Amino acid sequence: MSRSNHVVSTKSNGGWAVRKSGSVRASKSFRTKAEAVLYGRMLSRSERTELYIHKRDGSIQNRNSYGNDPSPPKG
């Protein structure tokens, strides 16, 4: 399984959190989604992993690769 980070909504306080894949606990919690996305990008760049940004309903809104992309664009 590839390593990745996820920006997810927290149900307890209505905020947002960054969580590593396979982890139950959040790496860090934030009041706004924008703050969580900024931290998630910084973390994913430093770890060279993928970042999944989720909507409040849990579906994936956006995905960014900051590591070795297994399927790079051709051309």
Q: How confident is the model at residue 69 (pLDDT cuts 50, 70, 90)?
A: low
Domain count, the chain: 1
State the pTM of this model. 0.84
Nearest alpha carbon to residue 16 among 35, 41, 1, 43: 35
DSSP 15-71: -EEEEETT-SS-SEEESSHHHHHHHHHHHHHHHT-EEEEE-TTS-EEEEEE-S--SS
User: What's the mean pLDDT when you consider all of the chain?
Assistant: 90
Give residue 51's domain range: 4-64
Q: Is residue 75 part of a domain?
A: no
Predicted confidence band of residue 74 (pLDDT cuts 50, 70, 90): confident
Kindly state whether residue 72 falls inside one of the protein's structural domains: no
31-44 confidence digits (pLDDT tens): 999 999 999 999 99
